[in-house]
Amino acid sequence: MNGYAGKILRINLTDRKTSTIDTRDYEQWVGGHGMGSAIFWDLVKDKTISGFHPDNVVTIMTSPLSGTLVPGASARTEVQGIGVQSSPIEWFTRSNFGGRFAPMLKYAGWDGIVIEGKADKPVWIDIRNEEVKVKEAQHLWGLDTWKTQEEIWREVSGRGYDKWVELDSEQRTTQRPAVLTIGPAGENLARIACLIHDAGNASGQGGFGGIWGSKNLKAISVIGMGGIQIADPKGLMEARLWAQVKYGTDLKNLDASWFSKFGRKKPQNRFWDPHESARLQACIGCHLGCKERTNTGFGNESTCHETTFYTAYDKSKHGGRQTSATYIATDLLQKYGINAYEASRGLTYIRALQRMGIFGSGKRLNCDLDFRKLGEIEFANEFLKMIAYRRGIGDDFAEGFFRAAKKWSRLEEDLKTGILPYSYWGLPEHGYDPRAEVEWGYGSILGDRDINEHDFNFLFWWPSGAIWAGKTPQPPAGQVVKIIAEKLIPYENNPLMLDFSTDNIYSEHMAKLVAWHRHYTRFWKESVLYCDHRWPEFINSKVPGYSGITGEGEPRFFDVVTGKKFSFLDGMELGRKIWNLDNAVWTLQGRHRDMVHFSDYIYHLPYGGSGNYAMYHLPGREKGRWDYIRVNGRYLDKTKFEEFKTRFYNLEGWDSRSGWPKRKTLESLGLKFVADELEKNKKLGAG
Amino acid sequence: MSIMKLRDPSRELAMRVLTEVDFEHRLNGFILRERAGAVPISMYSFKEVVSLLDDPQPRLDFKQLEEWIRSVMGDTELAIHIAQAIRKGNNDQERTYLIGDLLGERLNQCKRLI
The residue extents of the domains of chain A are 7-223, 302-422, 438-680
pLDDT at residue A253 greater than cutoff 80 = no
pLDDT at residue B18 greater than cutoff 90 = yes
* CA pair distance A151, A161, nearest whole angstrom: 8
Which pLDDT band, with edges at 50, 70 and 90, does A288 fall under?
confident
Nearest-neighbour CA in chain A from B82: distance (Å): 15
Q: CB distance from A305 to chain B under 8 Å? A: yes
B71's enclosing H/E stretch is helix B62-71
Choice among A32-46, A352-366, B21-35 with the minimum mean pLDDT: B21-35
Q: How far is CA A631 from CA A40, A108, A598, A628, A636, in A?
A: 40, 49, 18, 9, 11
Task: Please answer yes or no on whether A457 and B39 come within 8 Å at the CB atom.
Answer: no
* CA pair distance A537, A247, nearest whole angstrom: 10
- Surface-to-core class of residue A682, CB atoms within 10 Å of its CB (0-12 exposed, 13-18 middle, 19+ buried): exposed
Amino acid at B11: R
pLDDT of residue A55: 98
pLDDT of residue B1: 46
Span A250-275, average pLDDT? 71
CA A226 to chain centre: 28
In this predicted model, what pLDDT tens digit does every residue of B46-74 receive, in sequence order?
999 999 999 999 999 999 999 999 999 99
Q: CB distance from A472 to chain B under 8 Å? A: no
pLDDT of residue A164: 84
Nearest-neighbour CA in chain A from B106: distance (Å): 13
Residues of B within 8 A of A539 (CB-CB) are: none
- pTM exceeds 0.95: yes
pLDDT at residue A266 greater than cutoff 70 = no
* CA pair distance A608, B40, nearest whole angstrom: 8
* CA pair distance A156, A166, nearest whole angstrom: 9
Q: Which of A320, A454, A608 sits opposite B30 (nearest CB)?
A: A608
Q: CB distance from B19 to chain A under 8 Å? A: no
Interhelix angle A377-388/A340-356, rounded to 10 degrees, is: 110
pLDDT of residue A264: 54
Amino acid at A626: W
Three-class DSSP labels, A196-258:
EECCCEEECCCCHHHHHHHCCEEEEEEECCCCCCCCCHHHHHHHHHHHHHHHECCCCCHHHHC
In this predicted model, what pLDDT tens digit does every residue of A447-476 receive, in sequence order?
999 999 999 999 999 899 999 999 999 899
CATH number of A7-223: 3.60.9.10
- Please give the full DSSP string across A550-596, using - where no structure is assigned: TTTHHHHHHHHHH-----HHHHHHHHHHHHHHHHHHHHHHT--GGG-
The SS3 of residue B40 is strand
Percent of chain B with pLDDT strictly greater than 70? 96
Query: Mean pLDDT for chain B?
Result: 94
Choice among A14-28, A84-98, A302-316 with the minimum mean pLDDT: A302-316
Query: Mean pLDDT for chain A?
Result: 95
Residue A207 bridge partners (DSSP): none
Question: What's the ipTM?
Answer: 0.96
pLDDT of residue A250: 80
Residues of B within 8 A of A614 (CB-CB) are: 59, 91-92
pLDDT at residue A636 greater than cutoff 90 = yes
Choice among A261-275, A288-302, A549-563 with the minimum mean pLDDT: A261-275
pLDDT at residue A438 greater than cutoff 70 = yes
Which pLDDT band, with edges at 50, 70 and 90, does B4 fall under?
low
pLDDT of residue B69: 98
CA A576 to chain centre: 19
Interhelix angle B92-113/B76-88, rounded to 10 degrees, is: 160
pLDDT of residue A267: 57
Phi-psi region of A323 (alpha: psi -120 to 50; beta: other; left: phi over 0): beta
Backbone angles phi, psi at A622, to 5 degrees: -125, 120
In this predicted model, what pLDDT tens digit does every residue of A42-57 receive, in sequence order?
999 999 999 999 999 9
Residues 6+ apart with CB under 8 A from A534: A71, A72, A261, A262, A286, A287, A288
In this predicted model, what pLDDT tens digit does every residue of A78-128 receive, in sequence order?
999 999 999 999 999 999 999 999 999 999 999 999 999 999 999 999 999
Asked if B75 contacts B9 with a C-beta cutoff of 8 angstroms, the reply is yes
Task: Please answer yes or no on whether B50 and A457 come within 8 Å at the CB atom.
Answer: no
- State the CB neighbour count (10 A cutoff) for residue A625: 9
Residue A626 bridge partners (DSSP): A621
Q: What is the end-to-end Cα distance of chain A in Å, rounded?
A: 40
User: What is the fold of A438-680?
Assistant: 1.10.599
In this predicted model, what pLDDT tens digit does every residue of A171-203 receive, in sequence order?
888 889 999 999 999 999 999 999 999 999 999
pLDDT of residue A263: 62
pLDDT at residue A600 greater than cutoff 50 = yes
* CA pair distance B79, B89, nearest whole angstrom: 15
* CA pair distance A185, A336, nearest whole angstrom: 6
A415's enclosing H/E stretch is helix A411-417
- Surface-to-core class of residue B28, CB atoms within 10 Å of its CB (0-12 exposed, 13-18 middle, 19+ buried): middle
Backbone angles phi, psi at A277, to 5 degrees: -140, 115
Sign of CA dihedral A117, A120, A121, A127: negative
Q: How far is CA A175 from CA A76, A156, A322, B11, in A?
A: 19, 11, 35, 63
Task: Please answer yes or no on whether A352 and B23 come within 8 Å at the CB atom.
Answer: yes
In this predicted model, what pLDDT tens digit does every residue of B88-113 receive, in sequence order?
999 999 999 999 999 999 999 999 99
The SS3 of residue A453 is coil
Q: How far is CA A641 from CA A89, A120, A538, A644, in A?
A: 21, 47, 28, 5
Residues 6+ apart with CB under 8 A from A454: A532, A533, B35
pLDDT at residue A664 greater than cutoff 50 = yes
- Surface-to-core class of residue A472, CB atoms within 10 Å of its CB (0-12 exposed, 13-18 middle, 19+ buried): exposed
Phi-psi region of A229 (alpha: psi -120 to 50; beta: other; left: phi over 0): beta
pLDDT at residue A489 greater than cutoff 70 = yes
* CA pair distance A456, A377, nearest whole angstrom: 36
pLDDT of residue A227: 94
pLDDT of residue A375: 97
Task: Please answer yes or no on whether A269 and B20 come within 8 Å at the CB atom.
Answer: no
pLDDT of residue A270: 77
B-interface mutation test, from A461, A539, A601, A618, most B Cβ less than 10 A away: A461
